[in-house]
Amino acid sequence: MSKTAHGMSRYDLFLNECLKQHGTNDPRPLPQVFGYLGHQNPVTGNLTKAHIVDAFDALVETMRTTKVEDGPADAGMTFFGQFIDHDITLDTTSAIGTAIDPRSIRNVRTPNLDLDCVYGDGPEASNYLYSHAEGTENFLLFGRKDNPYDLARNCKGTALIGDFRNDENIIVSQIQGAFICLHNILMTHIHEGDDQAHDIADCAQMGVRSEVWHHILPPKLQGFEQVRRFIRLHYQWLVLHEFLPAFVDQDDIDHALAHDIFPDAPMMPAEFSVAGFRFGHATVQPQYVMRKGEAPLDLFALRGFGPRDPGATIELDQFFGKHAQKALPVGTKMAETLFELPDNIVGSGLTWGEHEIPLEQAKKLGLRNILRDRTAMQIPSGQQMARKLGLHVLDTPKALKERHIDKTPLWFYLLQEAQEKGKGRLSGVGGKIVASVFVRLLREDPESILNLHGFEPWSGFGDECTMANVMKFVEKHRDHVKNREDLYCGPEKH
């Protein structure tokens, strides 16, 4: 690092050379700021804060359901969406009840679809994520002696991963673990120099002059960077070709690929992070089967943030593929489980100015989403965004009209569109916001699959590159990682 430009890793230098950029002011990675697609929409009028909160609470109560309905997406896609969210956004500044301009908020995650939640800033800057044992340098730490399939952890049981939130439940934790395992499996092939290693190198080097790899990267990092780029490209493929179609109307995806409908938008719009990409909350099932033949477990029995017992290891085909459980359809119904968040998640009420919001209301996830919109970010309403995009404007829900509110919070409006027009997928305003943001992230990243002509997924994952096939590949090969026990890290039972 002593010979690199100030603030730049060898990987940054590699990208600058690869992409023929010169100087250190080129905005790579993508700008880490939020902003508006529309305009700030502050709360106005003569209604009291208490009246407004109660009106929003009444709207959220219309969502409560105990009926389990299968939507078009696999159940695992809900948690893959959570994983993706943690890869592109982290706001540590804003709080419900306190107004803040999103343009002043730094996004702690890079908005690139680059898996920094897995890799951190790479082995040089985030060396706590990586093995330093001889023979497994640049492998990611994974597993404990008490559970080979748990995340690596420090002595206090905290997961050693690029984003702490990916340990918050045992499903997203094991998606995180699957990507770590995939890295180590492919690194093993690189070390063995077999046919798969040649496939990995050929894919990773697409669009990059061969001399760049040897001119910028030292030999000890070349295999690592080949694997990282290989996995990133396939991850982007999964986001664009499987995740988005599972939850977004295909016409909106195609439109976003053909037209940039928000040409002057910030890289991470508040309308996306606060409303559009929170659609996943409405797709959560109240219970999930972890392994075939077992009884389902309640959602909040799947808590993370601590060492995981071997018995809590899930079968990934229960969440992805033809035998998988299904997510709820995107719509205006929400599992009753999410109306009383556990004390370890929400343990106290909220305040909005002088108004106290009691714990009973604060525990409702849907209400928290709406309050974050109206009291903190103050994003445009659904009707305002529909007019901006020249789309048909939906009626204001009865629960709001009866309480003299005529603008629908954007998060609920997007679910209303999916319910009324999208057949369980985002459509209209919601489809256009979510599809356009993802396509723009890929389009503005010169390394992405949208800027790599001729990319085809690796045949080693099967006939199709799907989450089901990638997870199946990981489960099949994760026990065949080089010097696997050297990667273990974490507390043991005594």
Question: Per-residue pLDDT tens for 150-188?
Answer: 999 999 999 999 988 899 999 999 999 999 999 999 999
Rounded Cα–Cα distance for residues 42 and 327 (Å)? 34
Q: Is the pLDDT of residue 20 over 60?
A: no
Q: Is residue 288 part of a domain?
A: yes
61 Cβ neighbours under 8 A, 6+ residues apart: 399
Q: Which of 89-98, 114-123, 190-199, 346-355 has the lowest mean pLDDT?
A: 89-98
pLDDT exceeding 90 applies to what percent of the chain? 70
Other CB atoms within a 10 A radius of the CB of residue 152 amount to 22
Number of other residues whose CB lies within 10 A of the CB of residue 462: 14
Of the pLDDT bands very low, low, confident and very high (cuts 50, 70, 90), residue 18 is low
Quick check: is 26 in a domain? no
Average pLDDT, integer, range 467-477: 97
57 lies in some domain: yes
Q: Does some domain include residue 13? A: no
Calculate the CA 217 to chain-centre distance: 29
Establish if 9 belongs to a structural domain. Answer: no
pTM: 0.91
Average pLDDT, the chain: 88
Q: In this structure, is residue 309 part of a structural domain?
A: yes
| 345 — pLDDT class (breaks 50, 70, 90) | confident
**CA–CA dist 246, 110 (Å, integer):** 24
Structure tokens at 332: 């205006």
Are residues 430 and 244 in contact, defined by beta-carbon separation less than 8 angstroms? no
* C-alpha span between 301 and 325 (Å, rounded): 18
Answer whether residue 314 is part of any domain.
yes
Residue 291, number of CB atoms within 10 A of its CB? 12
What is the domain range of residue 184? Answer: 33-487
Lowest-confidence segment of 17-31, 205-219, 364-378 by average pLDDT = 17-31
226: helix, strand or coil: helix
Domain containing residue 129: CATH number: 1.10.640.10
Per-residue pLDDT band for 9 (boundaries 50, 70, 90) equals low
pLDDT digits (tens, 9 = 90+) for 272-311: 999 999 999 999 999 999 999 999 999 888 888 889 988 8
**Domain-embedded: residue 55:** yes
Of 194-208, 232-246, 359-373, the range with the lowest mean pLDDT is 194-208
Confidence of residue 208 (pLDDT cuts 50, 70, 90): confident
Could you tell me the CA-to-CA distances from 421 to 72, 251, 413, 428, 452 in Å, in that order?
Answer: 15, 13, 12, 8, 34
Task: Give CA–CA dist 31/43, Å, rounded.
Answer: 29
User: Which pLDDT value is given to residue 281?
Assistant: 96
- Number of domains within the chain: 1
- pLDDT, position 250: 97
Contact 74, 82 (CB under 8 A): no
Predicted pLDDT of residue 75:
97
- State the pLDDT at residue 23: 37
Sequence length of the chain is 494
